[in-house]
Amino acid sequence: MVECDKVVKRDAFLKAIEVDDAPSAAEGLDLDSMAVDASYDGMRLEKEMTLEFIEDMIQRFKDGKKIHRKYVFQIIITVMDIVKKEPTMVEVTVEPDHEITVCGDTHGQFFDLMNIFKLAGKPSPKNSFLFNGDFVDRGSWSTEIALTLYAYKWLYPTSFFLNRGNHETDDMNRMYGFEGECRAKYNERVFKLFSESFSALPLATLIGDKYFVLHGGLFSDDKVTLDDVRKLNRFKQRQPGQSGLMMEMLWTDPQPAPGRGPSKRGVGLQFGPDVTKRFCETNGLEAIIRSHEVRMEGYEVEHDGRCITVFSAPHYCDSTGNKGAFIKIGPDYKLNFTKFEAVEHPDIKPMAYASNGMQGLI
C-alpha cells in the first residue's frame, strides 16, 4: 500500500505539470552524427528497414544482447511518423491469397512472440498481423517486443498493424516495468520516445467492415458509432484519462449480465450482451474482437458470438497456467482460432524492472 501510494502521488504530480504541447523527445537528437562503434557486432541499419536487420536483431535479443541505441531511436522515430499518419480507426480488407492474424496481449513475453511467428508464419505483405495492444509491461522483454513489432511496422507499413492498449500509457509503464526496463537497457530518452509513439498509435482496426478490433471494449453510451471512432481526435490528449471514448476503448470489459455495470478494475465499465448486440446491429458488424483479459484457453467467444476475447501471453506472468491464442482471418472472413502453450525462456522473472516494491505483484 505504501508503494502504491507513492506511485499514485508521483503520477498525480507528473499529470499536474504535464504540458500537452511539450516538445518532442526527438528534438535535438542528431542521428546522422551518432556514431556506431566499430566493435558493435550487430548488423548495421541504414536509412531503410530490411528483413535481414530484423532477423539479426531478433537473434541478438534471443542471445540476451541489445541493439545499438542509435537504431533504437531510429526505429521509434520512423514508426511514430508512420502511425501518426494512420487514422484513429484503421480499415483493412483481406485480399485473395492473403490472411491477417489478430493477436491479443503479449506483455513482454518475447519468446512466446517468437512462437507466434513460428505457428502463424512470419509477417509478410500477404501474411498480415494486427497486435491488439499491451505489448509491454509485466514480462521482462518488453523492449524486445516493442522494437520487434515496430521494426516490422516499418518494413511492412500497410500490412502490419498495431492498436494501442491500456498498457501503452505512462501510468501503467511507470508501475509495471516498461519505464524501468527502458532505463536499464537503454536510457530515459528511449522511454520518452516510446511514450510519445504510444500516444500516436491507432485505437481500433476495422477488418472487412465485419470485425471491430479494439483493446478493451464498448462504450457507456449506446449512441456511439463507428463514425464517432473515426472522428475521434486521439492527438488531443496523450494519455487516456479517467473518462471519455479513448479511456473506454482501452479499459472496458464484457460481463454476462445485460446492461452495464461498474468495472472491477476501478476504471472504465462492464458491458453486457445486449449492449454488444445493439452496437453490432447499429454498425453492421458481425462481432467485436478485443483483448485486455486473460482467458484460460487463450480466447473466449461470448455474448452470443458477438464478443470475442483473444489473449496471446500464455502462462501469463509465469503463474497463470493459461494458454495463448491468435485468430487468423482469410478473404472469406471466417475466424480460425489457434491455441498454444508457453515456451521456455531465460530465468528472468516477470516484473523484474517494475517500480520498487512492485516486483512480484501480478
pLDDT in tens, 168-186: 999 999 999 999 999 999 9
pLDDT for position 8: 62
Tell me the mean pLDDT in the region 272-292. Answer: 98
Is the confidence at residue 360, as pLDDT, over 50?
no
Q: Is residue 84 part of a domain?
A: yes
What span, in angstroms and rounded, lies between the C-alpha atoms of 28 and 18? 20
Taking 60 as the threshold, does the pLDDT of residue 15 lie above it? no
Structure pTM? 0.93
Asked if the model's pLDDT at residue 137 lies above 90, the reply is yes
CATH number at residue 265: 3.60.21.10
pLDDT > 60? residue 106: yes
DSSP 97-147: T-EEEEE---TT-HHHHHHHHHHH----SSEEEEEES--SSSSS-HHHHHH
Residue-level pLDDT at 165:
98
What's the longest Cα–Cα distance across the chain?
63
Domain assignment present for 60: no
pLDDT one-digit tens code per residue, 195-214: 999 999 999 999 999 999 99
Within a domain: 12: no
Which residues share a beta bridge with 91?
206
Averaged pLDDT, 268-293: 98
Give the strand order in the sheet containing 160-163. 160-163, 127-132, 99-103, 324-329, 335-340
Supply the residues annotated as catalytic: 167
- Cα dihedral 56, 197, 162, 154 in deg (nearest 10): -40
Confidence of residue 126 (pLDDT cuts 50, 70, 90): very high
Report the candidate in 155, 157, 163, 188 with the shortest Cα–Cα distance to residue 173: 188
For the residues 39-46, what does the mean pLDDT come to?
A: 97
How much is the average pLDDT of 231-235? 97
Mean pLDDT of 244-271: 97
Q: What is the mean pLDDT of the chain?
A: 94
Asked whether residue 241 is assigned to any structural domain, the reply reads yes
Structural domain contains residue 272: yes
The pLDDT score that the predictor gives to residue 282 is 98
The secondary structure element, H or E, covering residue 91 is: strand 89-92
pLDDT score of 362 more than 60: no
**pLDDT for 12 beyond 90:** no
Structural domain total, the chain: 1
Structural domain harbouring 102? 65-296+310-318
pLDDT of residue 13 exceeding 60, the answer is no
Instruction: For residue range 49-105, list pLDDT tens digits in order.
Output: 999 999 999 999 999 999 999 999 999 999 999 999 999 999 999 999 999 999 999
Residue 90 located in a structural domain = yes
Q: Is residue 28 part of a domain?
A: no
Q: Is 11 helix (H, G, I), strand (E, B) or coil?
A: helix
Confidence of residue 17 (pLDDT cuts 50, 70, 90): very low
Who contacts 296 (Cβ-Cβ below 8 Å, separation ≥6)?
320, 321, 322, 323
The predicted pLDDT at position 269 comes to 97
Structural domain includes residue 314: yes
Q: Using CA atoms, how far apart are residues 240 and 249, in angstroms rounded to an integer?
A: 9
